[in-house]
Amino acid sequence: MKVLISNSSPDPIYEQISRQIKAQIISSDLAEGEALPSIRKLAQELQISVITTKRAYDELEREGFINTVSGKGTYVAVQNQELLKEKKMKIVEEKLAEAVSEARILGIGVEQLKEMLLLLYKEDE
């Protein structure tokens, strides 16, 4: 598991943590059933408040990404494949929506936007 915290980011630290862990679960860098460090261990490693790491884990648990077995530890939850696919789509959708609204503000038309998308997609291949 990799977590990098930026103090200059406007996002709260708990959100930075949960977002990064979520991304690693969705990309399968963190495998199902894999153990995560305890909230106290993670707080020590990152030198942050226990309350912050607890909140990050609570959020991940609520969204079904991890499970906490009391007295044993925290593990990456078994992911429903359909759901995982949906979550992945949702991330792409959100990013695209962001790009679209930015494009509107800047007065970039849909044709031009399509062109940009195609260009970027090819560039990446």
Stretch that binds other proteins, among 23-31, 49-57, 60-68, 82-90 (CB under 8 A): 49-57
Count residues binding other proteins (CB under 8 A). 15
Determine if 44 is a binding residue for other proteins (CB under 8 A).
yes
- Interaction of residue 50 with other proteins, rule CB under 8 A: yes
Stretch that binds other proteins, among 45-53, 57-65, 83-91, 113-121 (CB under 8 A): 45-53
d(CA 59, CA 66): 9
Judge residue 77's burial from the number of C-beta atoms within 10 Å of its C-beta, 0-12 exposed, 13-18 middle, 19 or more buried.
Answer: middle
Binds other proteins (CB under 8 A): choice among 17, 18, 21, 55: 55
> Does position 96 bind other proteins by CB under 8 A?
no
First to last CA, the chain: 27
Candidate residues 52, 60, 66, 74; the one interacting with other proteins per rule CB under 8 A = 52
**Interface with other proteins in residues 1-20 (CB under 8 A):** 10, 12-14
Select the span of 51-59, 63-71, 82-90, 92-100 touching other proteins (CB under 8 A): 51-59
Say how many residues make up the chain. 125
Positions in the binding site for other proteins (CB under 8 A) = 10, 12-14, 40-41, 43-44, 47-52, 55
